[in-house]
Chains A and B, each alone.
Chain A
Amino acid sequence: MSKGSLDAPAKPVNSLSHEVHSEDVTPLQVLSPEGEVINPEFMPDLTDDQLKEIMYRMVFTRAWDDRAINLGRQGRLGFYAPVSGQEGTMVGSEYALTKDDFVCPGYRDMPQLVWHGLPLYQAFLYSRGHQHGGQIPEGVNVLMPQIIIGAQILHATGIAMGFKLKGEKRVAITYTGDGGSSEGDFYEGLNYAGSFKLPVIYFVQNNGYAITTPFAKQTGAQSIAHKALAAGIRGLQIDGMDVLAVIYAVQQAAAIARDGGGATLIEALTYRFRPHSMSDDATKYRTKEEEQEWSLRDPLIRFGKYLESKGLWSEEDTARVREEAKNTVNEHIKKAEQTEKMTVNGLIDSMFETTPAHLEEQKADFQ
């Protein structure tokens, strides 16, 4: 039996002469959990209408998530990764960009795609496993959700290089979770962006868990933001339950990137109130206390209180938006269900620009 333990001390007990050090990080915050402005210097420049639009999108996304869970249970949706709790990071980070900017999502990041222009019924088709779900409309600058954790980090890096080569003032943003920051592709992407000074934002939604594995088991690093140092890019940590902090950070990073200043890694501390996926039981690895503690930081409550204090939002507004979301979801799930069924021959024809002879031949089996 080993006498050792895999639980390392929080900090190295000894030090080397000439050892490199990094500063501790503190998350950027604008609003307190009570919805009070505690750091006005980081307040993004937003009109009242914009503030209301952001709240509208967050409430809509929460209602959509609620409805999607039910649709999943009814068998009307397939693969679905819940998002409740992460509306601040998802809605805020997308809102901070322009429609010309490019989004490379992970599999949980459907809200960013929809708010960037992907029709909701196509998001549902993606969930149901229909090819039309991935047929992104022309002019909507997103890739399909990425299942291979880390692969999207490299695609955003390449897309950002394309913007740089064309001299376009556009930014690519890509998302992964805390577990994703352990992948080789995560590091390779950051490092390429550092080397080529690319206009890209690596946005990590650290919700504390990669399925059942807590963040402390991913790395000995104090934060994910620190990993930027290894690549020579900017890194910062933000309160991901604070949508204004998210918007501020992404707007700043985007402005620097557009100005030729290169890439930024943003680590947003957040929490998902629901399980990892519909086939996951979070009660096996999370405590009720922990869930309650995080629910006090709910981005909707916090931002809602702030807007209420400014007279911009009320409970009636929330109820109205939830009703509207429910109707929109119903309309779009119907549209998804009415979409023409795929055929095997259609799949064969979508493999290459010109279908090679052997595939043409294989169609005969499916006439």
Chain B
Amino acid sequence: MAQMNMIEAIKDAMRVELKRDPNVLIFGEDVGHVGGVFRATEGLQAEFGENRVFDTPLAESAIGGLAVGLGTQGFRPIAEIQFVGFIFEALDQMFVQAARMRYRSGGRYNAPIVFRTPFGGGVKAAELHTDSLEGLAIQTPGIKVIVPSNPYDAKGLLISAIRDNDPVFFMEHLNLYRAFRDEVPEGEYTVPIGKANVVREGADVTIIAYGLMVHTAKKAADELAKEGINAEIIDLRTLMPLDIDTIVESIKKTNRAIVVQEAQKTSGAAAEIIAQINEKAILHLEAPVLRCAGPDTIYPFAQIEDAWLPTPARIVKTAKQVLEF
């Protein structure tokens, strides 16, 4: 076991897989020689060579297209899009070409690609660096969506993603990269894609969250505990496919739930989660399931993002709304 922050765990996952499978390739803008703008690939080119880890010209669509082409030839590309807002340049290749490859070829070709992208607010970044675009991805058939919240999960999920024979959008929260260290096993292990994790047990209300919001929810749960309210927190880890069973099991116990997402409110992951709860657990609910989310604006200017993003206080307030319904 070693103490690692999330970025070290992510790098370790890629190192393990580069070593294990000669078909694994890493490429993107500045990921080679320097090791990435967040050092997620630092030292990997030196260890594995320029044919395995390399820099590309600055063009996101071509990064995506390169991955799709290489994927048809037996390679397993890990393609990095430097910041989440730049996936728009690559959307056709990610969400059309990679996501449809298996389907439109009737299984003749597949796209065993991981698109790694940092995202997430609270770091006072420039425009289009921090938007939560998972909603676009989860409504795109054919691509899986993973958002880890801690170093252990990040490593295990990334190894699973690299080994998956279908495309995965792997979203890494900027605010969690170096936020804390955790015990992370050496060598290889996997965390299954599509399995949520109950990170805090409670009987009064279920708080469903992912990414940074898992930690914001934990702070909110501490506040609620002071008032004798025991919140159960589910870290989704994977948004597509969604682990609805773990959510329903929790609601059977708590009868109340809220969903916390950093993205703006409308049509995001929370909306889908609530729809599925309505389909599968309506008779277990004592109150409607509410969303705690950003308002439906464009992602805020850096100076005001702390007020825009869900806070522990807003989560407490939303939880109390369902408790007092």
- Between A and B, 20 residue pairs with Cβ closer than 8 Å are A104-B69, A131-B104, A134-B104, A136-B105, A143-B109, A148-B92, A151-B92, A154-B64, A155-B65, A155-B72, A158-B68, A159-B70, A162-B69, A165-B51, A185-B62, A191-B62, A195-B56, A351-B102, A353-B102, A358-B244
Interface residue B75 (Cβ < 8 Å from any Cβ of A):
yes
Contact of B57 among A104, A143, A192, A358 (CB under 8 A): A192
Cα-based distance from A177 to B96 in the complex (angstroms): 21
Selected from A138, A154, A163, A359, the residue in CB contact (under 8 A) with B66 is A154
Q: Does B262 contact A (CB under 8 A)?
A: no
Q: Is the CB of A143 within 8 A of B165?
A: no
CA distance A233 to B107 in the complex (A): 35
Nearest neighbor of A154 in chain B, beta-carbon distance: B65
In the complex, B12 has a CB within 8 A of chain A: no
- The verdict on B301 contacting chain A, using a C-beta distance below 8 Å, is no
User: Which residues of chain B come closer than 8 Å to A188, judged between CB atoms?
Assistant: 57, 59, 61-62, 65
B242 close to A (CB within 8 Å): yes
Is B150 on the interface with A (CB-CB < 8 A)? Answer: no
**Distance, CA A148 to CA B98, complexed state (A):** 13
Interface size on B, residues (CB 8 A): 42
Most buried by B among A136, A172, A188, A359: A188
A/B pair count, beta carbons within 8 Å = 127
Chain B CB within 8 A of A366 CB: no
- CA–CA, A353 and B105, complex, Å: 13
Q: In the complex, what's the smallest C-beta–C-beta distance from B196 to chain A, in angstroms?
A: 12
B61, B65, B72, most chain A CB atoms within 10 A? B65
Complex: A205 Cα to B96 Cα, angstroms: 25
Distance from B112 Cβ to chain A, minimum over Cβ atoms (Å): 9
Residues of B contacting A135 with CB < 8 Å? 105-108
Known: A154-B68, A155-B69. A353 touches B241 (CB 8 A): no
Other-chain residue from A104, A144, A158, A189 in contact with B104 (beta carbon distance below 8 A): A144
In the complex the two chains form, what is the Cα distance from A359 to B164 in whole Å?
A: 17
Which 4 pairs from chain A and chain B are nearest by CB?
A158-B69, A154-B65, A162-B73, A356-B241
The answer to whether A185 touches B66 (Cβ under 8 A) is no
If A151-B97, A356-B241 touch, whether A161 touches B66 (CB-CB below 8 Å) is yes
Alpha-carbon gap, A134 to B100, bound state (A): 12
Given contacts A157-B66, A158-B67, A189-B65, contact A136 B166 (CB under 8 A): no
Determine whether the beta carbon of B73 is less than 8 Å from that of A351: no
The CA of A131 and the CA of B102, in the complex, are separated in Å by: 11
A358–B242 contact, CB under 8 A?
yes
8 A Cβ contacts from A166-206 to B: 166, 172, 184-185, 188-189, 191-192, 195
Closest chain B residue, CB of each to CB of A185: B61
- Whether B141 lies near A151 (C-beta < 8 A) is no
Q: How far is the CA of A198 from the CA of B8 in the complex (A)?
A: 33
Q: Chain A interface: which size bin?
A: 35 or more
- Residues of B contacting A159 in the complex (Cβ-Cβ under 8 angstroms): 69-70, 72-73
- A8 CB–B CB distance under 8 Å: no
Interface residues of B in 140-195 (CB under 8 A from A): 141-142, 164-166, 194
**In the complex, which residue of chain B has the Cβ closest to the Cβ of A231?**
B57
Tell me, in angstroms, the Cα distance from A159 to B73 when the chains sit together.
7
Quick check: is A357 within 8 A (CB to CB) of the other chain?
yes
For residue A243, CB closer than 8 A to chain B, the reply is no
List B contacts of A132 (CB < 8 A): 106
Smallest Cβ distance from A114 to chain B, in angstroms? Answer: 16
The reply to whether the CB of B110 lies closer than 8 angstroms to some CB of chain A is yes
Contacts of A160 in B (CB 8 A): 69
Interface string of B240-254 (1 = CB under 8 A from A): 011011000000000
Tell me which residues across on chain B come within 8 A of A344, comparing CB atoms: none
Whole-angstrom CA separation of A151 from B71 in the bound complex: 15
Question: In the assembled complex, which residues on chain B have CB atoms less than 8 Å from the CB atom of A189?
Answer: 62, 65
CB closest residue in chain A, given B141:
A351
Contact of B70 among A104, A148, A162, A352 (CB under 8 A): A162
| B103 in the interface (beta carbon within 8 A) | yes
A192 x B102 contact (CB < 8 A): no
- Contact partner of A350 (CB less than 8 A), chosen from B56, B67, B72, B102, is B102
